[in-house]
Amino acid sequence: MSGVTIVVGGGLVGLATAYGLACRGQKVRLLDQGDTALRAARGNFGLVWVQGKGYGMPAYARLTLRSAAMWPRFANDLLAETGIDVHLRQPGGFSLFLNHEDMAEEAGQLRWIREALEGKYRFEELGPEELRRRLPGVGAEVVGACYSPDDGHINPLLLLRALTSAVQRRGVNLETGCEVQKIENTGSGYRLTGNGRTWEGDRVVLAAGLGNQSLARQVGISLGLSPNRGQILITERLPHFLDYPTNYVRQTGEGTVQLGYSNESTGLNDGVSASVMSDIARRAVACFPRLANVQLVRAWGALRVLTPDGFPIYQESPSFPGVFALTCHSGVTLAAIHAYEVAPWIAGGPPPDELQVFSDQRFKNPDYKVTSNGH
């Protein structure tokens, strides 16, 4: 019994969970890969996003709302801990639409969620005039928007630095360049091995993104993960013009503008394509015509970690008690929940509300229908 919890994966899920565990006095060893690892975190838009999440699974909507509400506390704790301000802003966010069908579909989903949450769900459907009043500079092609007052954003680079600093200050042992390949029960704990290295711990948290698939399988958890590529464009720095995060465009604290949003099944290819880049640019310019003559500085692809229904899986292994798999594609939004509810549960405390809904067992139920792509 070493008293050590090993967290596999140094991305947003692993870091937030390790931080939460360390705050609970747990001894944590965090294993991260090398410089060229896939890192789903590279694809994050910095959004702390509530809108639209949980269509088909009300528990996920509630989980997301809770996490967004806990984020100010998380940001303050990180600031107090490290002196780094992650620039959390929660002014609400806009999903912009360039055609009525898309808006109708989204609005329909939002209404479904509101009803499933018995009205405890805030959003507005905005027509073009009202939208232009609230978001000056939005283009004429935008037919309307859905606004959620609970949406927000942070600075992803600062969040990474704050979390890395916080875990180290809390005594987490951060090991880099690790490749975990095998997990075994030693009888008195668990042994992880990979590339000639060995680690031992009483508890193991699998937070390795796409890498969770093979590791979870070894402990009887089936995640059914598939990579989903999103391409992101980033522009040169611009004078500040956009306070609110939107679905397609977000201006960072540095003044650069991040543009998205795309979905492709390309296996493990995290490259970019001119056609998708062009689509993203076209939508961005339609949303904010002022972006037409702005220089594109970089485009990259990142792989989202998608479960079969797109909703998180939080599962303790039935055959390897003390081994947990944490998988989601909203590492930023759920970071607060990971630190304040999931980590305590892993440390032996009570499970977060409705945790059983996020079990991998749901996919074994023949009646379970996947109603959305879980975004």
Partner 1 sequence: MATSPLFRSLDARTSEVLIEFDGKQISVADDTNLAAALLEAGVDVTRKTAISGASRTAYCMMGVCFECLVEIDGVSRQACQVRTHAGLKVSTHSPAATKGDIHD
Partner 2 sequence: MTDHVPVIVLGAGPAGIAAAMRLHAEGVKVLVLDEQATPGGQIYREVSLASPKRKELLGRDYAAGSVAVASFIKSGIDYVPNASVWLVTAEREVHFRIAGETRVISADRILFCSGAYERPMPVPGWTLPGVMTAGAGQILLKTGARVPNGAVVLAGTGPLLYLLAVQYLNAGVKIKALVDTSARSDLMAAARYLPAALPAWKQLFKGISLMAQIRRAGIDWYQGATDIQIEGKVKAQAISFTHKGAQCRVDCDLVLLHQGVVPNTHPTLSIGAEHQWDEGQVCWVTKQDQWGALSVPGFFIAGDGAGVNGAEAAALQGRLAGLGIAISLEKLTTKAAESEAQTIRRSWEKIRCIRPMLERLYRPIQSLQLPADDTIICRCEEVTAGAVRQYAALGCLGPNQAKAFGRCGMGPCQGRQCGLSVTQILADARHVSPSEVGYYRIRPPLKPITLAELVNEK
Binding partner selected for residue 249 from partner 2, partner 1, none, CB under the kind-specific 5 to 8 Å limit: none
Closer of 122 and 290 to partner 2 (Cβ): 290
Q: Which does 32 bind (CB under 5 to 8 A by kind): partner 2, partner 1, none?
A: partner 2
d(CA 153, CA 239): 18
Give least dist CB 156 to partner 1, A: 10
CB of 281 to partner 2, least distance (A): 4
How far is the C-alpha of 204 from the C-alpha of 115, rounded, in Å? Answer: 38
* Residue 82 found at the interface with partner 1 (CB under 8 A): no
| Rg of the chain (C-alpha set) | 20
Instruction: Pick what 285 binds: partner 1, partner 2, none; C-beta below 5 to 8 Å, kind-dependent.
Output: partner 2
> Which residue's CB is nearer to partner 2, number 69 or number 157?
157
Other Cβ atoms less than 10 A from the Cβ of 11: the count is: 24
Tell me: does residue 42 bind partner 1 (CB under 8 A). no
Strand 124-126 relative to strand 93-97, pairing: unpaired
Q: Which does 281 bind (CB under 5 to 8 A by kind): partner 2, partner 1, none?
A: partner 2
Nearer to partner 2, 288 or 358 (CB): 288
Phi/psi of residue 5, nearest 5 degrees: -105, 125
- The residues that touch partner 2, with contacts defined as CB under 8 A, are 32, 34-36, 42, 157, 160-161, 164-165, 168, 174, 176-177, 233, 235-236, 254, 259, 272-274, 277-278, 281-282, 284-285, 291-300
CB 294 → partner 1: shortest distance, Å?
Answer: 8
| C-alpha distances out from residue 181 to 8, 114, 321, 322, Å | 11, 43, 19, 18
Does 346 interact with partner 1 (rule: CB under 8 A)?
no
Q: What binding mask, one character per residue, do residues 189-228 give for partner 1 by CB under 8 A, x or -?
A: ----------------------------------------
Nearest CB to partner 1, comparing residues 255 and 318: 255
Distance separating alpha carbons of residues 133 and 124, to the nearest angstrom: 14
Burial 318-333 (b: 16+ CB within 10 A, else e): eebebbbbbbbbbbbb
Closest CA to 51 of 91, 99, 109: 109
Site for partner 1 in 157-186 (CB under 8 A): 157-158, 161
Across the strands, what pairs with 27? 4
Under the binding rule (CB under 8 A), the answer on residue 298 touching partner 1 is: no
From edge to edge, which strands make up the β-sheet containing 93-97?
93-97, 144-148, 124-126
DSSP state of 232: E
Please state the length of the chain: 375
Half-sphere exposure of 263 (CA within 13 A, CB side): 8
CB of 75 to partner 1, least distance (A): 13
Judged by CB under 8 A, the chain residues 234 through 293 that form the site for partner 1 are 236-240, 252-255, 293
Query: Cβ distance 125 to 144 under 8 Å?
Result: yes
Out of 27, 42, 66, 87, point to the residue binding partner 1 (CB under 8 A).
87
Beta-sheet pairing, 144-148 with 93-97: antiparallel
Interacting partner of 155 out of partner 2, partner 1, none (Cβ under 5 to 8 A depending on kind): partner 1
Q: Which residues bind partner 1 (CB under 8 A)?
A: 85, 87, 155, 157-158, 161, 236-240, 252-255, 293, 295
